[in-house]
Structure 1
Amino acid sequence: MQQDIRDKFKNYKEENVELSKNHSIKFEALLQQELHQNKPKKNYIKWLSVAASVMLLVSIGIQFYPNKTSEPIITKNDNDTTTKQITLGNISPEFNTIETYYTNSINLEISQLDLSDENKELVDSYLLKIAELTKEYKNLTQELNTKGVNDATIDALIRNLQLRLQLLQRLKKQLNEFKNLNTKQNELQII
């Protein structure tokens, strides 16, 4: 495979090719013709810029279009004065996402509870605590409306939602432990 290049050139004979006398003139004419030829402009760049502009306008429109999943601002009419009720969900889209997540999670946990006569007291005690936290959440929302939006109230609202979810998760865990304990006791009685 390895060959010496000098060996290749030993047998090489240069061919004598003669160019026509006006070769350089023909070459220059062809070169000038190629250089000064009008190339058709590519229209896809124009269309690409139009498409990008349309996409930009559509995305801006979507960004500022009212979000239908957020709760509407409730208005109360007392003696012809209109006040807007502020909730955590209509402060900003991020808070709306947080509130929706926690309320959906709380509702899901409540719907998945296994109620029976044996665990009724335990479930009732937890649901009583959750009802107190729900009442406190409504009071915090009223405070948000009277004192205005502030970080302390927003943090308290979020902590309230988190605490309710944690209580439900703890209840679910205790119900599973209670169920497992009853299953083990039944197995021991059978043996």
Structure 2
Amino acid sequence: MKEKDYIEELIANNLDALNDNEPFEGHFERFEAKLKAKNRTRKISLNLVLKVAAVVVFAFLATNQAFIYFSPDSQGLILNANKSKAVTLASVSPEYQEVEFYYTTSINTGLEQWNALSAEGMISEDEEAMMQDELKEFERLYKNLQSDLAANPNDERVINAMLEFYQTKLSLITMIVNKLEEVKQQKNNHNESI
């Protein structure tokens, strides 16, 4: 209890000094008014920001749709599709034209190697028929992708599907030709060792 008495005595001796640190008259009311004003402006500013964002998004979408509708490039591609002309990646952009050229050249080279191996008798009739069926299936898929590209010339999904088509066709032909080349090499090595 001695400590309690000491604290009470300390407060009693310094009561005048402690009372000098009270806030001025009306401090709590002004503080409360500032808090209310700050909360009110936050709600208004957030609401305003959401409205402005909605207007900007709407304006962007409207501009984009107008651009697509009035763009001469997209109308030309659609007209070309209606005239039954083939729409390819080359009609989308010069960069895609280079990519398409690479893939078509590589695929044609692989098919030439396939035909050379077939002429050498490395491929049976069943394997030849199976390859022709696969090539027909690739051609059917390519026609579908071309019609999708004609309908949506700037759609990245269609463009990526075309690129994946070329990659898949090239990798399949390359894999088959490489395996046939290995078999041919083994056959030659076996014949030389006899």
Q: Normalised by the size of structure 2, how large is the TM-score?
A: 0.50
- Where structure 1 has 5 or more consecutive residues not aligned to the other structure, the ranges are 1-71
C-alpha distance in 1 between matches for 2:110 and 2:121: 19
SS at match of 1:112: helix
Higher strand share: 1
Does the C-alpha gap of structure 1 residues 145 and 179 become closer, same or farther in structure 2, counting only changes over 3 Å?
A: same
CA displacement 1:140-174 (0-9 Å, x = unmatched):
11012224431111101001111111111111111
CA displacement 1:93-126 (0-9 Å, x = unmatched):
0011111111111111212232133413434433
Are positions 1:119 and 2:120 aligned together? no
CA displacement 1:165-189 (0-9 Å, x = unmatched):
111111111111211232244345x
Contact 1:74 1:84 in 2 (8 A): no
Greater RCO, CA 8 A, separation 6+? 2
C-alpha distance in 2 between matches for 1:84 and 1:112: 30
Are positions 1:137 and 2:138 aligned together? no
Q: Normalised by the size of structure 1, how large is the TM-score?
A: 0.50
Correspondence list, 1:141-160, <5 A: 141-160=146-165
Letter in 1 for 2:101: T
Which residue of structure 2 lines up, in the alignment, with residue 92 of structure 1? 93
CA displacement 1:16-73 (0-9 Å, x = unmatched):
xxxxxxxxxxxxxxxxxxxxxxxxxxxxxxxxxxxxxxxxxxxxxxxxxxxxxxxx96
C-alpha distance in 1 between matches for 2:154 and 2:127: 37
1:163 to 164, 168, 177: 168
Letter in 2 for 1:100: F
Does the C-alpha gap of structure 1 residues 143 and 111 become closer, same or farther in structure 2, counting only changes over 3 Å?
A: same
- Report the Cα offset of residue 137 of structure 1: 1.2
Higher helix share: 2
SS at match of 1:132: helix
C-alpha distance in 1 between matches for 2:81 and 2:143: 19
C-alpha distance in 2 between matches for 1:176 and 1:85: 34
- Report the Cα offset of residue 86 of structure 1: 3.5
C-alpha distance in 2 between matches for 1:77 and 1:149: 14
CA-based RMSD of the aligned residues comes to 3.0
